[in-house]
Chain A
Amino acid sequence: MSLISCRALSKSYRKGPNLVTPLSALDLEVPQGEFLALMGPSGSGKTTLLNLIAGIDSPTSGELLINGQDISKLSRRELTRWRASSVGYIFQLYHLVPVLSAFENVELPLLLTKLSRRDRRAKVSAALELVDLADRADHTPAELSGGQEQRVAIARSLVTNPALLVADEPTGDLDRESANRILDLLRSLTRDHGKTIVMVTHDPTAAAAADRVLHLEKGVLLETAPGPHP
């Protein structure tokens, strides 16, 4: 069964006098538990597609079903609520809140739930354990390396146990060793925890970690290349 189903999905917006269409009538199916990599040159529409799938942006036309729910029909407020419970976003530059500790950063999405303080604490500890950073819970982002910051960001994205994780160049700002560790972590999340991951990347090595690689060019899916981990 597909977790993500895009049908004739289009996105266009005005930029000055011009109408820009980063995505045009795109069809895509992503099965549950798949690790999908999206590649393509700058401006090809891959981040736009990622933002649509994450409910950060809304399509101009078409259908976008996530877990059977058409999120293109949701209002902004409903979309905000949907994001809080259904998707985890991993950013290239981690986007951690600098004034909060690693623990508090990971706890942020749980503040939107009705969980008790004790339950929140247990979930945050488990998430930090999963990314192997339990011993850095009290550290602020400034006291962590780039790789560690990204792992905290991953812990934050999965602490609410969403079925879907989206990652925008998650290794783009890391050295090779840290990047490999992040990719191993993402792979283990699909393999061991059944998460569906959609990752945008420019890096063929990172894309090779995915189950499937899609190439986008000028808003159209041109090619489907199988990854090395079917």
Chain B
Amino acid sequence: MLPFTYALRNLFRDKSRLAQTVGGSALVVLLVMAAAALNVGMKEVLSASGSPLNAILIGTGSEESMQRSEVSEQTAGIAASAVAGVAHPLGTPAVSTEIHYMTFLQTPDGKRGQGLFRGVSPQAMVVHPEVRLLEGTFPQAGELMAGELAWRKLGFADASSLAVGKSVLLDGAEMKVSGVFAAPGTVMESEIWATLSDLRTLSQRDTVSCVVLRMETPDDFSEADLFSKQRLDLELTAMRESDYYAHLSQFFKPLRVMTWITAGLVAAGALFGGLNTLYAAFASRIRELATLQAIGFTRFAILTSLVQESLLACLTGTLIASVVALLFLDGKTIPFSIGAFTMSITPAVTFSGLFTGLALGLLGALPPAIRCLKPQLPTALRSS
């Protein structure tokens, strides 16, 4: 085998070519890591948002959009008494009536953004135990409680506009921020909660969006399902909360596929660019490669050295991309239509970057290396 130093020193023969290879691979790897982090982040937030213990009673035909759903407000009371298996913490049925409403919020200094609002009663804290009040109090009339990431969904620069005690305008009505809550890893963390009656007034509706039932066990969902099928007059569909968000996840699948396609196209472009760059690099050394064969090195040994050279450049790019991703992408919150999610550079994301770097190094080097080792030895030795 040729010494590793041969591959290493060849890297620095043409510094601009090296910069091109390292920079190109770094950009592609960064893009792939970003796409992977986006996909993982979006998928995780949607899958973590629904509890398998929660059954949602939603208007038939509105299974894909809670905001379009219309459910009679009496449903909550009927379901609480008719559905077996509803949990009763502290002796009260865990049933929450909710309105989901998308509208604009404006701050006194003119900042405006669209957010997802949820009209709730204190029972919401029982059916959504992952929600924890970090600061302030649960909202009363004229008040609202902001999720920790709501500012990001609204497109604000920071969370200061939604700090406890601040005033905001909601569809023209002045409201005060009474509290800030966390719901780690779920879309609720980017929502803003107000009282059911305030949201009913703002959304000008006399129905609610859904009724959420907290069941004793996941298997008790069948009771809620049976209820929705028996009470045809209520025009309800029962869904596991986890299934609802899994459906939403499918709804966003084309978006995720598009990010992969974009990353794939850029990677393919970079691969062809890399093939070209490496072909130029190897072609300028055809005589040298032939000399090594004349000395007695096998084509395989020379091919291995050329691949090492390419892998070194691409893995340097991968390392740079990984550092950039950790510094600038990890923990970055990205808003999307129903909330926000946090990008996380997980081991799986890092592995996807590493795999891309290896693939670029290998696939980028093999065709030009094979092509440059193909000419007959006497011909190659005479090449200029």
Q: Return B306 CB to nearest CB of chain A, in Å.
A: 13
B291 proximal to A (CB < 8 A): yes
Given A95-B288, A97-B6: A89 and B1 interface contact (C-beta under 8 Å): no
Which residues between 98 and 114 of chain A lie within 8 Å of chain B, taking CB atoms?
98-100, 104, 108-109, 111-112
Measured in the bound complex, the distance between the Cα atoms of B292 and A48 in whole Å is 19
Write out the residue numbers on chain B whose beta carbons fall within 8 Å of the beta carbon of A104: 3, 5
> Within the complex, which residue of A51, A81, A98 is in contact with B296, where a contact is CB–CB below 8 Å?
A81
B15 proximal to A (CB < 8 A): no
Q: Return A30 CB to nearest CB of chain B, in Å.
A: 20
Q: State whether B295 touches A109 (Cβ < 8 A).
A: yes
Q: State whether B3 touches A111 (Cβ < 8 A).
A: yes
Chain A: residues with Cβ within 8 Å of the partner, total of 25
Q: Mark B347-384, 1 if CB is under 8 A from A, else 0.
A: 00000000000000000000000000000111001000
Write out the residue numbers on chain B whose beta carbons fall within 8 Å of the beta carbon of A121: none
Q: State whether A83 touches B296 (Cβ < 8 A).
A: yes
Q: State whether A100 touches B6 (Cβ < 8 A).
A: yes
Q: State whether A91 touches B291 (Cβ < 8 A).
A: yes
Q: State whether B378 touches A108 (Cβ < 8 A).
A: no
Looking at chain B, what size class is its interface with the partner chain?
Answer: 20 to 34
A2 proximal to B (CB < 8 A): no
Q: Return B303 CB to nearest CB of chain A, in Å.
A: 13
Q: State whether A111 touches B1 (Cβ < 8 A).
A: yes
Q: State whether B292 touches A56 (Cβ < 8 A).
A: no
Q: Return B1 CB to nearest CB of chain A, in Å.
A: 7
Q: Return B219 CB to nearest CB of chain A, in Å.
A: 67
Given A57-B378, A95-B288, A97-B288: A84 and B295 interface contact (C-beta under 8 Å): yes
- Chain B residue at smallest Cβ distance from A13: B376
Write out the residue numbers on chain A whose beta carbons fall within 8 Å of the beta carbon of B1: 111
Measured in the bound complex, the distance between the Cα atoms of B12 and A80 in whole Å is 29
Question: Lowest 3 A-B CB distances belong to which pairs?
Answer: A84-B296, A99-B9, A95-B291
Interface residues of B (CB under 8 A from A): 1-3, 5-6, 9-10, 12-13, 287-288, 291-298, 376-378, 381
